[in-house]
Structure 1
Amino acid sequence: MSIGRIEYASLNGTHIFKIIGEVRAQACISLDNLLNKIDQNSQIVGAIVDLTETTFIDSTVLGILAKLGIKLKQNHGIQAVMLSTNPDITTLANSMGLNQVFVILNYCGNPNVCTKALVEDNISHAAMLKTVLEAHRTLMQLNENNQNMFEPLVKQLQKEQANIHSNDEQSQKV
Structure 2
Amino acid sequence: MSTGRIEYASLNGTYIFKIIGEVRAQACISLDNLLNKIDQSSQVIGAIVDLTETTFIDSTVLGMLAKLGLKLKQNHNIQAVILSTNPDITTLAHSMGLAQVFVILNYCTDPKVCTQTLADNNITHSEMLNTVLDAHRTLMQLNENNQNMFEPLVKQLQKEQQETLFQPDNQKV
How many residues matched? 110
State the SS of the aligned residue for 1:21. Answer: strand
- The residue correspondences of 1:1-174 to structure 2 (distance < 5 A) are 1-109=1-109
Distance 2:17 2:61 in 1: 12
**Per-residue Cα deviation, 1:63-120 (whole angstroms, up to 9, x for no partner):** 000000000000000000000000000000000000000000011359xxxxxxxxxx
Q: Which runs of 5+ in 1 are unaligned?
A: 111-174
**Per-residue Cα deviation, 1:3-42 (whole angstroms, up to 9, x for no partner):** 0000000001000000000000000000000000010000
Q: Which runs of 5+ in 2 are unaligned?
A: 111-173
Residue 163 (structure 1) aligns with: none
User: Looking at both structures, which has the greater relative contact order when contacts are Cα pairs under 8 Å and sequence separation is at least 6?
Assistant: 1
8 A contact 2:85–2:109 mirrored in 1: no
**Per-residue Cα deviation, 1:129-149 (whole angstroms, up to 9, x for no partner):** xxxxxxxxxxxxxxxxxxxxx
Distance 2:100 2:59 in 1: 16
State the SS of the aligned residue for 1:108. Answer: coil
Greater than 6 Å deviation, 4+ residue runs: none
State the SS of the aligned residue for 2:51. Answer: strand
TM-score under structure 1 length normalisation: 0.62
Distance 1:23 1:34 in 2: 16
TM-score under structure 2 length normalisation: 0.62
Distance 1:8 1:57 in 2: 16
Distance 1:70 1:91 in 2: 19
Distance 1:30 1:101 in 2: 22
Higher-Rg member (1/2): 2
CA-atom RMSD in angstroms: 1.1
